[in-house]
Structure 1
Amino acid sequence: MASADRFRDSTQILLPAAALDGVRDELEERFTLTVHREGSQVRIIGSPVEIKRASDFLAMNGVNLA
């Protein structure tokens, strides 16, 4: 059985809010995701497939996911 941490990692991305400057609108338009602001961070939540696709999109747009 998969651990909760692994499942959570495959269904969300946590980033500084500023990381989405200039790409948030396109991100929300292209993918079925929820983007929730939490103070100075944003939590992007979606299915494992959408999170993978969104991660690839963000990386191609210069957003550091590490």
Structure 2
Amino acid sequence: MADVERFRDSTQILLPAGALDGIRDELERRFTVMVRAEGGQVRIIGSPVEIKAAGDFLAMNGITFA
């Protein structure tokens, strides 16, 4: 059976609230992802391919995550 945590990590990115200020619209326009605000966090959800590309986009815009 696949490792659930690994799969989850490849399909979502968690960021602090406000991390996408100024780039959220472009992120949603360029990538097939869903962005949800959850309390003090923002969750970006998508396919592993889209999440990797979105992660690269975030890194190019100075947003780091684990």
TM-score, normalising length: structure 1? 0.95
* Number of residue-to-residue matches in the alignment: 66
Identity of aligned residues (%): 76
- 1:19-30 map, 5 Å: 19-30=19-30
**Unpaired stretches in structure 2, ≥5 consecutive residues:** none
TM superposition shift of 1:40: 1.3
- Report which of the two has the higher share of helix: 1
**Unpaired stretches in structure 1, ≥5 consecutive residues:** none
Find runs of 4+ consecutive structure 1 residues off by over 6 angstroms. Answer: none
Structure 2 CA distance for aligned equivalents of residues 43 and 18 of structure 1: 11
Secondary structure, aligned partner of 2:28: helix
